[in-house]
Amino acid sequence: MKRLRWLTGLVVIVIISVVVMGYRLPSLLEWQSLFLKRVFFILLLCALFCLVRILRGPTPADRAVAIDILGILVLGFCAILGIPTGRDWYIDIGIAWALQSFISTIALAKYLEGRNFDE
């Protein structure tokens, strides 16, 4: 039963990867190369994993960890969007997002820590 679950997960991940690698979307932006488009979709896949963990995490600490990871991933999104569009202000958005994500993660950690004292 455990082997079956492992095999099913592996097959699902391989199918998703092949679809991401082979899918041809109409151009959302003026992409310079096809490689950067693939990069964009792999980052979207990572964000989807984080959303699944937020959805089915058993404890609130799992959700806080997934929110932290999602905040760091958005920084990578902003860095990659700066290359094909040629605009420099995407990295400014990334810096502001990193600062806000750090502060919100610290606030969530203080919330988790203090919740045991009230009960």
Partner 1 sequence: MNEFLGTIFIIIGLAFDFFGCLGLLRLPDVYNRLQASTKCVTLGTCSILFGLFLFKGFTSAGIKAILCIIFLLLTAPVSAHALARGAHKSGVKLWEKSVCDKYEEDKQGV
Give the footprint of partner 1 on this chain (CB under 8 A): 9, 13, 35, 39, 42-43, 45-46, 49-50, 52-53, 59-62, 64-66, 68-69, 72-73, 75-76, 79-80, 82-83, 88, 91-92, 94-95, 98-99, 102, 105-106, 108-113, 115-116
- State which residue, 9 or 25, has the beta carbon closest to partner 1: 9
C-alpha distance from residue 104 to each of 1, 57, 88, 98, 111 (Å): 40, 19, 26, 10, 10
- State which residue, 25 or 118, has the beta carbon closest to partner 1: 118
Distance in angstroms between the alpha carbons of the first and the last residue of the chain: 40
- State which residue, 1 or 26, has the beta carbon closest to partner 1: 1
- State which residue, 27 or 116, has the beta carbon closest to partner 1: 116
- Who's near 25: CB < 8 A, 6+ residues apart? 37
**DSSP label at residue 115:** H
- Cα separation of 60 and 112, whole Å? 8
Residue 59: CB minimum distance to partner 1, A: 5
